[in-house]
């Protein structure tokens, strides 16, 4: 697996260098172009320049679902260091309390607010009652669950629970928080998906569809919200060292374990820093880690490889 990544990375690097060299030639020609052509080029480049202007998180009100552990907690801690006011949302009151204790020492201003709300993202009415009077500049939908296993062995209830939490939970929270952003004509929504939404992996028939749904939701949503000054981002993290990953490992089918064992694992803070850098630049697609970027760019190749790997090993087991 690692050798395949290295080979594909080399091919990708050569392609990028070739394109860069041809663009340099094109840029020289552009400098020699007539004035009216250069004006057109400036107008094309201007949006790109605007994207590079970084956002400042100081005094921004940030709501993070799933903020009591994993990537959500790492984001809360890192954004607190940047001066943001943080509101965590999760079900477990004990974990929320522990999370608050870990975040408060990281604040950089006396008036910085760190708070928590105990709620289930699948309960729309409870969410609405607890959040309708609040206003947020940034919403990060990080709440999610995973339950790997072979399709024939998984109970139907598991599929419903995963899709209700990962997808409909995100829709619920966004539906409640975004109208205020629309009124203020500003805001940012960040949805945490997974590389499982890009490549079909054996053993994730319950989890992957919920993350595919987030991908489609985010793509459609960004065109609706951008006219109101609201940015939407979708994040595709690779395997990340979190309590959720530790839980998953206990349930992985053997073929899934074989696929995953050669892949790298990022820390929650590595993923968090990548997300925050993407948020600063209002990027739509955020992919933490070099392996994740290679997998995303070359998804059809890896999808083909993992498919045949799984089929070949499964046939050995059932023959």
Q: Of the residues 142, 193, 194, 210, which is catalytic? A: 193
Whole-angstrom distance, CA of residue 282 vs CA of residue 234 = 11
Query: Residue-wise over 87-110: b if at least 16 C-beta within 10 A, else e?
Result: bbbbeeeebbeebbeebeebbeee
What is the residue whose two structure tokens read 């970027």?
Answer: 293
Q: What is the DSSP string of 265-279?
A: -EEHHHHHHHHHHHH
Whole-angstrom distance, CA of residue 79 vs CA of residue 84 = 6
Task: Locate all alpha helices (DSSP H) within 153-235, ordered by sequence.
Answer: 156-163, 169-184, 207-225
C-alpha dist (Å) from residue 258 to 99, 161, 212, 221, 304: 34, 26, 23, 36, 16
C-alpha dist (Å) from residue 19 to 13, 64, 297, 301: 10, 39, 16, 21
Whole-angstrom distance, CA of residue 140 vs CA of residue 117 = 14
Whole-angstrom distance, CA of residue 57 vs CA of residue 4 = 39
Phi, psi dihedrals of residue 69, rounded to the nearest 5°: -160, 170
Active site residue 247: no
For the record, the structure tokens of 162 come out as: 């995963």
C-alpha dist (Å) from residue 177 to 59, 92, 139, 242: 18, 21, 8, 27
Active site residue 147: no
Whole-angstrom distance, CA of residue 148 vs CA of residue 10 = 32
Q: What is the DSSP letter of 289?
A: S
Q: Are 284 and 232 in contact (CB under 8 A)?
A: yes
Q: Of the residues 207, 218, 233, 272, which is catalytic? A: 207
Active site residue 193: yes
Q: Of the residues 68, 167, 211, 272, which is catalytic? A: 211
Q: Are 136 and 179 in contact (CB under 8 A)?
A: no
Catalytic residues: 193, 207, 211
């Amino acid at each position: 697996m690692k050798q395949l990544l290295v080979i594909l990375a080399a091919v990708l690097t050569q392609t990028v260098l070739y394109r860069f060299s041809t663009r340099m030639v094109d840029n020289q020609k552009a400098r020699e172009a007539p004035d009216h052509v250069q004006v057109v080029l400036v107008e094309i480049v201007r949006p790109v320049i605007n994207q590079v202007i970084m956002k400042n998180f100081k005094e921004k009100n940030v709501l993070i679902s799933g903020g009591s552990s994993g990537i959500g907690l790492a984001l809360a801690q890192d954004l607190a260091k940047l001066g943001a006011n943080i509101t965590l949302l999760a079900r477990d009151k004990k974990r929320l309390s522990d999370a608050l204790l870990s975040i408060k020492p990281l604040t950089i201003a006396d008036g910085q607010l760190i708070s928590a709300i105990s709620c289930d993202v699948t309960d729309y009415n409870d969410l609405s009652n607890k959040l309708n009077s609040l206003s947020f500049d940034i919403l990060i939908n990080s709440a999610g669950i995973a339950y790997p296993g072979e399709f024939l062995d998984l109970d139907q209830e598991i599929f419903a629970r995963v899709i209700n939490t990962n997808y409909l939970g995100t829709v619920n929270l966004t539906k409640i928080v975004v109208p205020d952003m629309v009124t203020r004509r500003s805001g940012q929504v960040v949805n945490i998906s997974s590389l499982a939404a890009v490549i079909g992996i054996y053993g994730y028939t319950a989890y992957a569809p919920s993350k595919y749904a987030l991908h489609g939701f985010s793509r459609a949503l960004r065109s609706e919200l951008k006219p109101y000054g609201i940015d939407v981002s979708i994040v595709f993290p690779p395997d990340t060292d979190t309590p959720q990953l530790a839980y998953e490992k206990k349930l992985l089918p053997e073929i899934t374990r074989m696929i995953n064992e050669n892949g790298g694992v990022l820390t929650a803070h590595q993923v968090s820093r990548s997300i925050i850098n993407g948020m600063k630049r209002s990027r739509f697609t955020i992919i933490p880690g070099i392996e994740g970027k290679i997998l995303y760019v070359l998804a059809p190749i890896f999808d083909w490889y993992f498919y045949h790997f799984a089929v070949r090993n499964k046939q050995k087991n059932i023959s």
